Structure 1
Amino acid sequence: MNEYVIETENLTKQYGSQKSVDGLNMHVQRGRIYGLLGRNGAGKTTTMKMLLGLTKPTSGNIKIFGKDIGVHSREILPHIGSLIESPGFYPNLTATENLKIFADLRGLKKETYIKNALELVGLPYRDKKLFAQYSLGMKQRLAIALAVMHNPDLLILDEPTNGLDPIGIAEVRSFIRELCDLQGKTILLSSHILSEIAMLADDVGIIDHGVLLEEESLQELELKSQQYIHFTVSDSGRAAQILQNNFHTRNFKINDKNNIQLMDVHIPISSILREYIKQGLDVMDAHLYKEPLEDYFKRVTGGEGIA
């Protein structure tokens, strides 16, 4: 069985001379959460629409469950749940009534499909409140309920926490994580909020101007972020000599007469501190600095940050 649930090869979408998605090679592994991270307009939604057959690629190939989506769409799509844009719910119907319409269209006869989906996102079953009276957060929850109602193997969610308050975001995040960890679902989600991706995703793809710049596990991404040990001392020149003579490293940077950065983060801070003090050096501060993912994103994209 193919380890990739989604695999694209040179996937491109062009509108006139503008490439919305440019030669994208994406690999979404089975049973994991893949976070597609990029600013608004980076090409995330267009990518997801191509995966679902909602818009046709200009060029390139898409395989889902190891099969070409262009050839086997009728076989593949029933096993996918998606949230791309707000579904067309009827404002004068309740959540249960709205889901009943979609359940009938999908041939889902049992009421338990609706009941389970609503309970999963924290909405009441057979409540009398109309969709028109729902808050933005409740509407988003109902959209997610629709995406999971038929118990799909793969979920494709475009900005799933959009419009939710902090409590709603935490609840949806927990629910998405459980879908992956407890039910074994593969999930592709997009976001322009870096902290959301960092808290939820197993693997990350960074997309900018339609180009996939990075694709790796979150753990690998964090290791790529710059790290160094920062020392504030009475004499940074003397501190540098100690690092060179006693720890055999030249991988440091003297900022000024009191501050020095050591890039060899594998050397224990405690060992360095003991040697500094032993040789009469005053130490005012010592800490491990990890570059925030926000700064790494700026560095990779060569531009502004992301929310």
Structure 2
Amino acid sequence: MSDYLIETKQLTKIYGEQAAVKNINLHVKRGKIYGLLGRNGAGKTTTMKMLLGLTQPTSGEVKIWGKPLRGNEKKLLPRIGSLIESPGFYPNLTATENLRIFATLRGVPNRNAIKDALDLVGLPYKDKKLFSQYSLGMKQRLAIALAVMHDPELLILDEPINGLDPIGIAEVRSFIRELCDARGKTILISSHILSEISLLADDVGIIDHGTVLEEESLEELEQKSSKHIHFTVSNAAQAARVLERDFQENHFSILDDHNIQLYNLTLPIGKIVTAFVANGLEVTEAHSCEESLEDYFRRVTGGEGIA
């Protein structure tokens, strides 16, 4: 059995001549939170819609629980809870009344399902307040309650903290984490808020202009953007060999032909530069630096930062 609950292969969606998503390969592990990180318009929502069968891919494949989504929709989709854009709640009904209608339509058997879902997101059960009187944050909480009401194994949440105040964001983050840790849910969450993904996700996919640029664990991502020593040299591959041979060091990344990053800060920069020069390398730059996740995102996407 695969470790991946969701796996896509070369997933592509083209509208007219515009490719919204291009050859995406996602790998979402069971029982983990996967953060799909990208600016608004990067292709996050289109990707999630394809995972839910709401829009058909132009090409490529979606596998969920190891089975192709196409042809198995009736078996797979009932096991998934989702929040894609805002659900169509009735403005003249309360939260409980709205959920009762959806529970009837979906055939949710558990009598306590509505109360449990509202408790989970911090909304009162059988309250008199109408949906039309709700704040944006309360509406977002109700949307998440609807997504979890039938106790799905997999949750796909598109920007679930949109419109929430800082307290609401912290609460939503807390129960999303609890759904994963305490209840064993697998969760795919998208966001353009880098700081939230860094607090919540186990694994991260960076998407930009419809393409997944990187996919790795949060630990690996933070390591890449942590403190390091940066060298610009005439030959990065040769510099790497010097580090391995003379310093028994392999904790580095070759960025391109001339740039290399060393993550072991205990090695003296002066000695390394001397060794590089002794091996016929020209060294034009050598300095220690601390790159934030924001800086790293900007560098990887080759553009502006993210909120």
**TM-score, normalised relative to structure 2:** 0.82
The reply to whether residue 173 of structure 1 matches residue 168 of structure 2 is no
- Say whether residues 1:183 and 2:157 are aligned partners: no
Q: Which residue number in structure 1 is paired with residue 264 of structure 2?
A: 266
Call closer, same or farther: CA 1:16–1:182 in 2, change over 3 Å.
same
Within 5 Å, give how 1:6-155 maps onto structure 2. 6-155=6-155
CA deviation map 1:14-67 (0-9, x unaligned): 011110000000000000000000000000000000000000100000001111
Quote the residue 1:163 is aligned against.
Answer: 163
Q: What is the CA–CA distance in structure 2 between the aligned matches of 1:107 and 1:49, rounded to whole Å?
A: 23
Q: Verify the 8 A CA contact 2:229 2:265 in the aligned structure 1.
A: no
C-alpha separation between the residues in 2 aligned to 1:170 and 1:23? Answer: 34
Q: Distance in 1 between matches of 2:11 and 2:190?
A: 17
Aligned residue in 1 for 2:303 = 303
Partner residue in 1 for 2:193: 193
Aligned AA for 1:56?
Q
- The Cα offsets for residues 136-157 of structure 1, whole Å up to 9 and x where unpaired, read as 0000000000000000000000
Residues in 2 aligned to 1:21 and 1:216: alpha-carbon distance in whole angstroms = 19
Instruction: Spell out structure 1 runs of 4+ moving beyond 4 A.
Output: none
Unmatched runs of 5 consecutive residues or more in structure 1:
231-246, 250-262, 273-287
DSSP 3-state at the match of 1:71: coil
- Partner amino acid for 2:141? R
Distance 2:193 2:100 in 1: 33
Deviation of 1:264 (Å): 4.9
CA distance in 1, matches of 2:205, 2:215: 4
Asked if structure 1 preserves the Cα contact closer than 8 Å seen for 2:228 and 2:265, the reply is no
**5+ residue gaps, structure 2:** 231-245, 249-260, 270-287
Q: Distance in 2 between matches of 1:34 and 1:296?
A: 19
Q: Distance in 1 between matches of 2:289 and 2:180?
A: 32
Distance 2:227 2:133 in 1: 49
Asked if 1 retains the 8 angstrom alpha-carbon contact of 2:7 and 2:62, the reply is yes
Letter in 2 for 1:169: I
**Amino acid paired to 1:143:** A
SS at the partner of 2:63? strand
- SS at 1:70 equivalent: coil
Post-superposition offset of 1:267 = 4.3
Structure 1 partner of 2:278: none
Q: CA 1:117/1:229 → structure 2, altered by over 3 Å: closer, same or farther? A: same
Say whether the 8 Å CA contact 2:228–2:264 is kept in structure 1: no
| Pair 1:5 & 2:9 matched | no
> C-alpha displacement at 1:222, in angstroms?
1.2
Q: Percent identity?
A: 73
Secondary structure of the corresponding residue to residue 9 of structure 1: strand
Per the alignment, residue 213 of structure 1 pairs with 213
SS at the partner of 1:110? coil
Separation in structure 2 between the aligned mates of residue 111 and residue 123 of structure 1, nearest angstrom: 17
- If you compute each CA radius of gyration, which structure gives the higher value, 1 or 2? 1
Q: CA shift at 1:2, angstroms?
A: 2.0
Q: How many positions carry a matched residue from both structures?
A: 264
Deviation, 1:228, is 3.1
Q: Which amino acid is 1:112 matched to?
A: N
Q: Partner residue of 1:237? A: none
Shift of 1:223: 1.3
TM-score normalised to the size of structure 1? 0.82
Look up the SS of the partner of 1:35 in the other structure: strand
Change (3 A) 1:265 1:217: closer
Structure 1 residue 290: deviation in Å?
Answer: 2.9
RMSD after superposition: 2.1
Moved more, 102-111 or 172-181: 102-111
| 1:59 to 1:124, Cα distance in 2 relative to 1, 3 A | same
d(CA) in 1 for partners of 2:39 and 2:175? 24
One-letter amino acid of the structure 1 residue matched with residue 264 of structure 2: H
